[in-house]
Amino acid sequence: MAPSGRWLLVHVTTVAVLLVIFVFQVFALRSSDAGPTASMALALSGLPLLALGLPWSLHYVVSPYTYSTVALAMLGMAGPAVLNVVIHVWIFGLKGRSWRAP
């Protein structure tokens, strides 16, 4: 079964929406004086981003405390999901080309 552009659109949209929610939650958490359990809201978008970033996000899952700043932690959680989107777009572009010699 050939890959469909519909799956690519679903993948890109899902990662983009989760990424926007994740970044908004991080900045809202840092700017407000929220309670001790406010960071649990990051799990709503952070855990699916980690899952969509596998296998590249496995390092963050195994040792999350190696990221010393919030920016590095955000990169460790969201970066692999974006990388998988880029790889998906690249593979979809390759599948659209003809592999036969001219």
User: In b/e form, how buried is each residue of 28-46, taking b as 16+ CB within 10 angstroms?
Assistant: eeeeeeeeeeeeebbeebb
- pTM for the structure as a whole: 0.78
- Look at residues 69, 67, 13, 70 and name the one whose alpha carbon lies nearest to residue 42: 70
- Distance between CA atoms of 23 and 41, rounded to whole angstroms? 12
Model confidence over 41-75: pLDDT tens digits?
777 888 899 999 999 888 888 887 887 777 788 88
Higher pLDDT, 1 or 95: 95
Model confidence over 26-41: pLDDT tens digits?
887 776 666 666 677 7
φ, ψ of residue 81 in degrees (nearest 5): -65, -40
φ, ψ of residue 32 in degrees (nearest 5): -100, 165
